[in-house]
Structure formats: structure tokens, C-alpha cells
């Protein structure tokens, strides 16, 4: 019995370490919790102007097509593409030989009818005196009166013909109706043109018109007179300022957007019609806004979220966005200024995860970032 009891006791002594070790091993795994290294930055409050972004194309204020008003052969062209035009400047001439002769014939015909009228008037004056003394018949009087009326109408017709002939002669010289610039010359010396043939296309490059579209959700923010900032790739970093001049009365059915037109001053002739433009349309005055770096945001379909650090724990926070200001995004709902958000490393985070936070270089240096043109003090 003693031997059997000792054997059992020895067996238990051997099994105890085997049973104890797994228990301690499990406790060690529970204690060791994963810590994620992240970079953080405080959400900021800034005074910014709300705006709408869009794109459009610059167009001339007016485009004028100068066409021939009569048939003829082009005798000379006084302008070329790019020529600066003053109001009343001669643009081109047509061969006027035929029209000069026509004006001469019309003038001669007028003189002839005027002479015939003068003779008929003298005859009527004599017949009128004789008719009063009853020395001529009523029919003779009526006959000369009719010829007088016809002679007067012939003079009127000749005068009209002379006016038309002079107008045609004047139309052999083509003048600019307003100050502008030549966009395109469409004829050359020797070309035969008919009435209506395009000869020169003029444009007015100052101011320029800019048309762009605004989404349906933003149409309530648009009104005439609002500031518009325009940027073009040809002048990197430079902004051109204009104002909304026209808000169209109806939306495009296919795109559900509203067309807006702005006038952009172009006194230095830097901008050219046809340039693609990026548009910022300001819809209000300076406002306090909460912004975070765009790197802090996580997108999952229509859901947008970020992580906020509380102590050493990450908390997931759904947010709603406003406008983008350079490298920062406006947060309209879900975050307050001063809260610490994760700007790097959040892809490895989940709700309640432990973190080892390192401040971003911006927070460490405590220096303001480069200001966007939409931020003012």
C-alpha cells in the first residue's frame, strides 16, 4: 500500500508542472495586447470662406462675324489674325467699278426725271390758268395733272435708286462696328464673295465670359454679383478675379446642373478665349470651420470616418465633409476643434485599439501651414 501510494504521489508531482505551464502561458497571451504606432494631429478651427468648385471655358465677351453685304471681288484686306481693331477701322475693300457706274447712272436718271418734272410743272401751270378761264377742256386739264403726278413719282423713284446705288457703293468698303480684335481672316485678295459671305471674325477679349455648371444641391447659394476666382494652367499660382453676371433660369435636365456666367476682367490681355479654367465661386463671408488633414479620412463607399485618440485608445468617428481647402478638409459634423485625430497609421486601427501616438511635424513645430487663397484673417 505504501509503495502504491508513493507511486501515485510521484505521478501527480510530475503532472502538476505540465498543468500549470499552459495556464501561465494563456495569461501571458491575454496580457500582451497589440499596440499600433500612429501619427496624430489636432483638428483646427480656421476662418474660411465657403465656396463651390467647378470648371469652365473662357469665351470672348462678344464674337462678331463681318460678312459681305454685296457681291464682288475682294480688292484688299487691311487686317490679319490678332490685329487690334478700333471702332470704324477699315477692314477690307471690294472692287467698286460696277457700283461707281451704277451710282453715276442713278444720278443721271434723277436729273432726267427732275427735268421732266420741271417741264410738266410749267405745262400744268399754263393749263391750270387756261382751265380757270374755261379755255381748255376738263379732260385736257386732267391729262396734264396726271402727267405731273407721274413725273413727281418718277423723281421719287430715281431718288430712291440713287440712295440704293450709293449704299451699295459704300458697302464696297468694310468697316469695324466696334473696338475688338481679329480672331480669323476668312478671305484673301482676289476672292469672289457673295452677299452674306463671311470675311472677318472679330472678338472682344475684355472682359471675358466664363460659363460653368453648378450642381443642383448648390443652386440656392448662387446669386448675381458673387466673387469668382479663376485659375488657368498657363499661369500657375496666379488668380483672376471676376463676378457672376448671369444665373440661368433653368437646369439642364440630363446633368441636373445650373449654368452660371461670370465676367472676368482682362485688361492686360493675359487670358485668351478658349482656355480651360478652374473656378472657385464664393458663396458666403468668412466663417469658423473645423478642418483636418485630408490624410486623416477613411472612405468606405458612402461612409466617411476617422479615428480620434482618447488617452491611448483609438475611437472611430463617422464624419460629414464640407469643402476642401488645399491639404485640409472641412468637417461639418462629427468632430470638434482641438480633438486629436490620427493622420497616419489609421488603416491598421479598429474601435478601441491601443495606440502609441506620435505628434505630426506640424504639431511639434507649432507652425502654421501655408495658407490657401480661400483662407483669410
User: For residue range 313-371, what is the model confidence (pLDDT) as tens digits?
Assistant: 889 999 998 888 878 899 988 898 889 999 888 888 888 888 888 887 666 655 444 44
- Which DSSP state fits 295? G
What are phi and psi for residue 250, nearest 5 degrees?
A: -140, 160
Which residue ranges does the chain devote to CATH 2.40.420.20?
A: 35-46+289-365
Please tell me the distance from the alpha carbon of residue 209 to that of residue 60, in angstroms, as a whole number: 6
The grid cell for 29 is 497571451
Single out the residue of 351, 346, 318, 354 nearest to residue 334, CA to CA.
318
DSSP string, 357-369: EEE-HHHHHT-PP
CA distance 67 to 25: 96
Tell me: cis bond preceding 66? Omega within 30 of 0 counts.
no
Q: Which CATH class is domain 35-46+289-365?
A: mainly beta
Residues 66/91, Cβ–Cβ less than 8 Å: yes
Per-residue pLDDT of the chain (377 residues; tens, 9 = 90+): 444 544 454 544 445 555 444 544 444 444 456 888 888 899 898 888 888 889 999 999 999 999 999 999 999 999 999 999 999 999 999 999 999 999 999 999 999 999 998 998 898 888 888 878 888 788 888 888 898 899 999 999 999 999 999 999 999 999 999 999 999 999 999 999 999 999 999 999 989 999 999 988 888 888 998 889 999 999 988 999 999 999 999 988 888 899 999 999 998 889 999 999 999 888 878 888 899 999 999 998 889 999 999 888 889 999 998 888 878 899 988 898 889 999 888 888 888 888 888 887 666 655 444 445 455 43
User: Residues 61, 63, 69, 72: what is their CA dihedral angle, to the nearest 10 degrees?
Assistant: 140
CA–CA distance from 266 to each of 170, 204, 211 (Å)?
35, 10, 16
What's the pLDDT score for residue 61?
93
For 96-171, CATH number? 1.10.287.470
Q: What is the pLDDT of residue 32?
A: 56
Polymer length of the chain:
377
Whether the CB-CB separation of 264 and 297 falls below 8 Å is answered with: no
The neighbouring-strand residues paired with 300 are: 303
What's the topology of domain 53-60+205-282?
Elongation Factor Tu (Ef-tu); domain 3 (2.40.30)
Q: What is the pLDDT of residue 374?
A: 52
Beta pairing class for 354-359 and 35-42: parallel
Could you tell me where in the chain the CATH 2.40.30.170 domains are found?
A: 53-60+205-282
CATH 1.10.287.470 location in the chain:
96-171
What torsion do the CA atoms of 268, 269, 273, 279 make, to the nearest 10 degrees? -20
Amino acid at each position: 500500500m505504501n509503495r502504491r501510494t508513493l507511486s501515485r504521489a510521484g505521478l501527480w508531482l510530475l503532472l502538476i508542472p505540465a498543468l500549470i505551464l499552459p495556464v501561465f502561458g494563456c495569461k501571458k497571451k491575454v496580457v500582451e495586447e497589440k499596440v499600433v504606432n500612429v501619427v496624430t494631429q489636432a483638428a483646427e478651427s480656421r476662418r474660411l470662406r465657403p465656396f463651390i468648385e467647378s470648371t469652365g471655358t473662357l469665351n470672348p465677351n462678344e464674337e462678331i462675324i463681318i460678312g459681305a453685304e454685296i457681291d464682288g471681288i475682294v480688292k484688299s484686306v487691311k487686317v490679319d489674325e490678332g490685329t487690334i481693331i478700333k471702332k470704324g477701322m477699315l477692314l477690307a475693300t471690294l472692287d467698286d467699278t460696277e457700283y461707281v457706274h451704277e451710282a453715276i447712272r442713278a444720278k443721271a436718271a434723277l436729273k432726267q426725271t427732275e427735268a421732266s418734272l420741271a417741264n410738266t410743272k410749267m405745262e400744268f401751270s399754263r393749263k391750270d390758268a387756261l382751265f380757270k378761264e374755261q379755255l381748255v377742256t376738263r379732260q385736257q386739264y386732267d391729262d396734264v395733272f396726271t402727267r405731273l403726278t407721274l413725273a413727281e413719282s418718277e423723281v421719287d423713284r430715281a431718288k430712291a435708286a440713287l440712295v440704293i446705288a450709293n449704299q451699295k457703293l459704300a458697302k464696297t468698303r468694310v468697316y469695324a462696328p466696334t473696338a475688338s480684335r481679329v480672331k480669323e481672316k476668312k478671305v484673301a485678295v482676289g476672292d469672289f464673295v457673295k452677299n452674306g459671305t463671311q470675311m472677318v471674325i472679330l472678338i472682344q477679349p475684355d472682359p471675358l465670359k466664363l460659363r460653368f455648371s453648378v450642381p443642383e444641391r448648390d443652386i440656392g447659394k448662387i446669386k448675381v454679383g458673387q466673387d469668382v476666382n479663376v485659375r488657368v494652367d498657363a499661369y500657375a499660382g496666379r488668380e483672376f478675379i471676376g463676378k457672376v453676371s448671369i444665373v440661368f433660369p433653368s437646369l439642364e435636365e440630363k446633368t441636373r446642373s445650373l449654368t452660371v456666367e461670370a465676367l472676368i476682367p482682362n485688361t492686360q490681355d493675359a487670358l485668351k478665349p478658349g482656355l480651360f479654367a478652374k473656378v472657385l465661386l464664393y458663396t458666403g463671408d468668412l466663417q469658423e470651420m473645423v478642418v483636418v488633414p485630408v490624410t486623416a479620412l477613411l472612405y468606405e463607399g458612402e461612409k466617411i470616418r476617422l479615428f480620434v485618440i482618447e488617452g491611448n485608445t483609438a475611437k472611430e468617428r463617422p464624419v460629414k465633409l464640407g469643402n476642401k481647402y488645399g491639404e485640409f478638409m472641412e468637417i461639418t459634423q462629427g468632430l470638434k476643434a482641438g480633438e486629436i485625430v490620427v493622420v497616419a497609421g489609421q488603416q491598421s486601427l479598429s474601435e478601441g485599439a491601443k495606440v502609441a501616438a506620435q505628434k505630426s511635424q506640424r504639431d511639434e513645430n507649432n507652425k502654421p501651414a501655408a495658407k490657401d487663397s480661400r483662407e483669410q484673417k
